[in-house]
Amino acid sequence: MTIHTICLVLLVIAAYLNLYLTLSQKKHKKITKLPISSKEWREKEEDENFKSWLSNRKRLKDKRKGNINN
């Protein structure tokens, strides 16, 4: 056997090992479920922003009237 044959055999072994490891990784990979969907998260953020906006608006109205409650 020449050096070229030995290198070819090692290359084939490396290719099959890579294929085996790739397939076994995909088999064991689990899909994680998020606790909240992106739509629900966006609605929650918009709701919090709106509540914050309302409280700031009320505070500014009170400040204009002279009723500062700090």
Q: Mean pLDDT for each consecutive 10-residue tract of the chain (70 residues)? A: 91 95 76 78 87 88 72
This prediction has a pTM of 0.39
pLDDT at 28: 67
What CA–CA distance (Å, rounded) separates 47 from 53? 10
pLDDT at 68: 56
pLDDT at 27: 67
pLDDT at 4: 93
Q: What share of the chain is helix, strand, coil (3-state, %, to 5)?
A: 75, 0, 25
In a 3-state reduction of DSSP, which class is residue 53? Answer: helix
pLDDT at 60: 87
Instruction: Output the DSSP codes for 3-18.
Output: HHHHHHHHHHHHHHHH
Only one residue has tokens 């909240």, namely 36
pLDDT at 44: 86
